[in-house]
Amino acid sequence: MAAAFIISAIVAALATLRVITASRAVHALLYLVVSLLAVAVVFYTLGAPFAAALEALVYAGAIMVLFIFVVMMMNLGEPAARRERQWMAPRTWAGPAVLALALLAELLALLWRATGPASGGEVGPGAVGALLFGPYLLAVELASLLLLAALVTAHHLGRSAGKEPDR
């Protein structure tokens, strides 16, 4: 299990690094899918098979498909990739890198202090479902409302996009 965790963690980190440095959107998306699947493995190794399944299905499946559709619709070709490379000058990375590293350092410092036994064991879908439709019912309802709102918004934005000019 530990070996699986380490391998998938390294894969996730490297894939993610490629996501944010790729110059082609499709490549980035594929790396992102890899990263998400690797995280799904991590979930599994953490004893959360339900979360791992959702990660693979919803994230790597549904959400990424959305991305792919959009990238396809925009038909980004070689010129876009060139522009991406042009935009990604080392100078551009300096500020974000500093910020990100600072944050990472802080988070690690916080993590360093954390102590406690690594207990755990597997938490199966049953437990999750019992909790989800028990104490967290309200959160579920709110999530459904959120999704509905997102649906309406996406529909509205997508529909009126071509019809009425902004001004």
CA 161/CA 121 separation, integer angstroms:
50
| Shortest Å, Cβ 89 to another protein | 10
Q: Report the 10 Å Cβ neighbour count for 79.
A: 8
CB of 166 to another protein, least distance (A): 6
Q: How far is the CB of 80 from another protein (least distance, A)?
A: 8
Is the Cβ of residue 78 or residue 120 nearer to another protein in the bound state?
Answer: 120
CB 95 to another protein: min, Å: 7
CA distances from 71 to 21, 63, 75 (A): 17, 13, 6
Q: How far is the CB of 156 from another protein (least distance, A)?
A: 8
Token output for 13: 């980190």
Closest to another protein by CB, 78 vs 165, is 165
